[in-house]
A and B are shown apart, each in its own frame.
Chain A
Amino acid sequence: MPHRHSTGNRSVGWMGLQRGHRARPLEWLAEKFIFLVSLSAILVVFLIFLFVAREALPIFLGQMDSAPVQAVVPVAQMDKLSPARLREYLGLTEKQFAEMDRETRQSLMEVKLEAQAEIPAAFRHDPDARLNTTEWKHLLRPRQWTGYDKPEFIWQPVGQIHKYNLIPLFVGSLKTTLVGLIFAVPLAVAAAIYVSQLARPRVREVLKPAIEMLAGIPSVVVGFFALLIMATVLQNIFGYETRLNAFVAGIALGFAVIPVVFSIAEDALTSVPQNYTQAALALGASRWQTAWQVVLPAALPGVFAAVVLGFGRAIGETMIVLMVCSASVMSWSIFDSARSITTTIAAEMAEAVAGGPHYRILFALGAILFAITFVSNLVADVVMHRLKHRLEGKR
């Protein structure tokens, strides 16, 4: 009896908590800590969105003014401007403006006046010089710039008038990505079918890690290989003029896309339940017929997800395209050079003045890129989840 009594006492621990998996405060604390840390992934995605968008916000809201020639206000008229207008005129943040005294503001106005006076008269009368090139109109639509004979899409963030048309960059990204996908998807999906359905188990065990090893090659190395070897070889085969072009970049991108598409497509094909295959084989279908007419249709959403993720990988790849081609030409031909969104960010961020229009536009490009990959990841995620549900449900 006393023995039973003592165990009864022990089971009611500190503060009357019961023994069990929530019995101890330490346990409770650890569980909460683990939960909090596991939120980091959500936090990070949120922070990425927040901080990339924050730097790009003035562009999206149209608050930036990149015109080199601006209407000047004489220093004497300083008091006629409202503080808000003055702050905008001097291009200051609210904090900077608040910290400044009257003299500093006045000298800033003088500096601005002098800088504007130094602009050559010929340039000052150029209508383009008064243009705010960061307006959405100029970011997306063609314009006939001074000296050009027809409206054109131009990305040219150097010289006196910075031209920030984004269309050549979108076209460049699209060109290289499409070439990469057209090259990589059939190869990767075919290999996934072979490895998951047709190869013998022992061969499969070797093939899968071997192909996935392609993902282990750093993209600078793929870029280097494309630049030194592939560009020449492909030029000799196809005989086009420009040695470094979107086609070479696209094929090299394909090398990076293959392991992504292969890996996910193979997983999807393998996750099709064995009874599908066994039923088909029992009905007298050949291995190929089973793979093509039974397994592939069942796993098709997974293959689609693989392609979507491959697209995300290709459009976000930086170093390969950066090394292989860089000139921003507006051209739909895959045998011309191209400059992708990622390449532009990587190549020009070092030259861009922090907080300036160029810097903000590069961040805006990053935000757009993030949005594109976010949506494609989400689509792939939902599709894969549904597929898993369906295959497991039928089992």
Chain B
Amino acid sequence: MTEVPSSEFRVPRRHFRTARFDFASFFFSGLTGLATLLILAILAVILLNILINGWPGLSWHFVSTIPKKDFFDLETTGVLPMIVGTAVRVFVMTIFVIPVGVITAIYLTEYAPSSALFTRVIRAAVNNLAGVPSIVFGLFGLGFFINFLGKNLDALLRNPAPVWGQPALLWASLTLAVMTLPVVIVATEESLRAIPQGLREASLALGATKLETILKVVLPQALPGILTGGILAVSRAAGEVAPILFTGVAYYMASLPHKLSDQFMDLGYHVFVLSTQSPNIEQTRPILYATVLVLLLLTFALNFVAVLIRARVRKKLRGLG
């Protein structure tokens, strides 16, 4: 009589034990954890290496000097024109990309019928745009902005020498705007979706029109998300070199750019120049590290802020879903 319940009792117990001490589970979970750690280690090694080696070369003099033609000498070199060039091209880009990106996102979330084929096509185009290689954007900038728009503009204005039909700050910025359009759209859309539907309904119920609801209720709420999109676009664009190679960057400029038709120097391109064209890589190493650190501080600080805001928006989204 007493044996039957005890044997019945043992079966589930043994089952629990095998589930808890499954070696394969333990091993493979550990493996995936290790992979995660390895990725984090790669990130840490890159960042620390640049921080440690770049820090000594960083000084106020370095970031505020316009270098002479030979920028391979640590004493006299500086990165002011590169910082200014990068900042200006990115700023001009945001003027174009943010309105277009935000309006597209508003259409996709507020107006577009979500199941229509047409909406699918816009979405597919946005996704596609995000996957086009950056060098192809460079070719597009050269073929469309410079060779088509610029040359025709020169002909129209009867410029004796090419002004717009050559690489220029404006063309580089526009190329980057095209490239970062999906970044802004996706981030804005995400934040628009995070806004509770009830808020819109309340506004409409009070007699506001759809446009009023969007402008006065939805957009103010979505501001952090739009900001994130802008920051992400800026940090992505600030580090990109391939799209500006043929559309505006210069190897050397004696002065800072002051017109939209000027060429400019650029931090990322400067890193490329320093690491591949240097006559003596050992001698330029400190300058190179310091330049990379400046670039990384610029893009990374921005990126870090964006990632933080985005994580918060996502959390809100999950809480609502």
- A residues at B contact (CB < 8 Å): 21, 23-24, 26-27, 30-31, 33-35, 37-42, 44-45, 47-48, 51-52, 54-55, 186-188, 190-191, 193-195, 198-199, 205, 207-214, 216-225, 227-229, 255, 258, 262, 284-289, 292, 309, 312-313, 315-319, 322-323, 342, 345-346, 349-350, 354, 362-363, 366, 369-370, 373-374, 376-378, 380-381, 385
In the assembled complex, the Cα of A27 lies from the Cα of B46 at a distance in Å of 52
15 pairs, A vs B, C-beta closer than 8 Å: A194-B36, A195-B36, A199-B33, A205-B315, A211-B43, A219-B239, A221-B50, A316-B133, A319-B272, A323-B272, A342-B242, A349-B245, A349-B246, A369-B133, A381-B123
- Point out the residue from A187, A214, A224, A363 that lies within 8 Å of B143, measured CB to CB: A363
In the assembled complex, the Cα of A218 lies from the Cα of B239 at a distance in Å of 5
A213:B303 contact, CB within 8 angstroms: yes
B39:A211 contact, CB within 8 angstroms: yes
- Point out the residue from A225, A258, A284, A318 that lies within 8 Å of B133, measured CB to CB: A318
- Point out the residue from B31, B103, B135, B140 that lies within 8 Å of A51, measured CB to CB: B140
- Point out the residue from A207, A224, A255, A287 that lies within 8 Å of B42, measured CB to CB: A255
A48:B103 contact, CB within 8 angstroms: no
In the assembled complex, the Cα of A289 lies from the Cα of B27 at a distance in Å of 12
Given contacts A30-B211, A186-B35, 5 further A-B contacts (CB under 8 A): A37-B100, A187-B35, A191-B35, A216-B303, A346-B245
Contact with A along B16-35 (1 / 0, CB 8 A): 10011010111011011111
Q: Main secondary structure on chain A at its contact with chain B?
A: helix
List B252-295 residues whose CB lies under 8 Å from chain A: 268-269, 271-272, 275-276, 281, 285, 288, 292, 295
- Point out the residue from A186, A220, A313 that lies within 8 Å of B271, measured CB to CB: A220
B111 within 8 A of A: yes
In the assembled complex, the Cα of A237 lies from the Cα of B25 at a distance in Å of 32
With contacts A190-B32, A288-B24, A369-B135 taken as known, whether A47 is within 8 angstroms of B308 at the C-beta atoms is no
B316 within 8 A of A: no
Chain A residues near B271: list those with CB within 8 A. Answer: 220-221, 224
Whose C-beta in chain B lies nearest to the C-beta of A222? B46
A378:B140 contact, CB within 8 angstroms: no
Chain A residues near B235: list those with CB within 8 A. Answer: 216
Whose C-beta in chain A lies nearest to the C-beta of B134? A318
Chain B residues near A30: list those with CB within 8 A. Answer: 211
A23:B33 contact, CB within 8 angstroms: no
A377:B131 contact, CB within 8 angstroms: yes
Whose C-beta in chain B lies nearest to the C-beta of A258? B39
A27:B210 contact, CB within 8 angstroms: yes
In the assembled complex, the Cα of A278 lies from the Cα of B255 at a distance in Å of 64
With contacts A21-B209, A208-B311, A214-B43 taken as known, whether A315 is within 8 angstroms of B133 at the C-beta atoms is yes
Smallest CB separation, B120 vs chain A (Å): 8
- Point out the residue from B36, B103, B111, B131 that lies within 8 Å of A309, measured CB to CB: B131
Chain A residues near B168: list those with CB within 8 A. Answer: none
Closest 3 CB pairs of A and B: A316-B133, A218-B239, A216-B303
